[in-house]
Amino acid sequence: MLSQVEVKQVKRYIPQHIKEYFAVSKSVVFLGASGAVGSAALERVLRFSGINKILLLGRRKLDVADNGKLHQQIVDVSDSGTYESFITGYDTAICTLGVGEPSKVSKEDFVKIDKTAVLDFATVCKEKGVKHFQLLSSIGVSSTSSSFYLRTKGELIEALEALNFERLSVFQPSMILTPTNRYGLSASHRFKSVAHARFHAARKCSKIPRY
């Protein structure tokens, strides 16, 4: 695991303007807030005082305290026609939609959720005037990758770039460990060891944050 000193060093790479961005009035439409990352992101977003309204789109309503700014709509995430009418007057979109365990679904189902559904959401957001689109992706994605998973993710990013949002933010974590580890204890220890090694390698390669 990373030491306290290393954690502080990592935090220094988080751009200050992310906090400044949400310090001014923003309206957010959020797809994928029920997942491990999405729920954590939503919790953080709800703390920002500058956000005047938040719309959650998902298969079910979430048990989240309503602060007067939160609205939820049950939709079919694979059918943009079920939610496009709700996306009106939002300047920011956050998408953390994705298959939790890609190895347990077919390639067709993976593409349907992680690429097609996300791109459809982004397309509607662009048409509705959203200026800033934020996507949770993965490290190592490339449209030319030999890995089907990474190639699909890479193709998605290229398609999003083609939409020409005023601002596009793609977050590419190496790995994500959640309180309920779905991969087993041995895998968790292995992942942490890899993360530790990659952290030191990244520090040697560059001190410029990518965001």
Residue 187 lies in a domain: yes
Q: Per the structure, how many domains does the chain have?
A: 1
pTM comes to 0.75
Residue 14 lies in a domain: no
- d(CA 56, CA 72) in angstroms, rounded, equals 5
Indicate if the alpha-carbon torsion angle 172, 92, 163, 78 is positive or negative: positive
Residue 108 lies in a domain: yes
Residue 197: which CATH number? 3.40.50.720
Residue 150 lies in a domain: yes
| 127, 130, 136, 141: CA torsion to nearest 10 | 50
| 16, 14, 118, 176: CA torsion to nearest 10 | -150
Residue 18 lies in a domain: no
8 Å CB contact between 37 and 136 = yes
Question: Stretch 85-107: mean pLDDT, rounded?
Answer: 91
Which among 30, 32, 31, 79 is positioned nearest to 51, based on CA atoms? 30
Query: What is the pLDDT confidence band of residue 183, given thresholds at 50, 70 and 90?
Result: very low
Q: Tell me, what's the pLDDT at 202?
A: 40
Q: Tell me, what's the pLDDT at 142?
A: 94
8 Å CB contact between 158 and 143 = yes
Residue 1 lies in a domain: no
Task: Name beta bridge partners: 72.
Answer: 56
Identify the burial level of 48 via C-beta atoms within 10 angstroms of its C-beta, where 0-12 means exposed, 13-18 middle and 19 or more buried. middle
Residue 197 lies in a domain: yes
Residue 83 lies in a domain: yes
Residue range of the domain that includes 116: 25-173+182-205
Which among 58, 29, 51 is positioned nearest to 126, based on CA atoms? 29
pLDDT tens, residue by residue, 77-94: 999 999 999 999 999 999
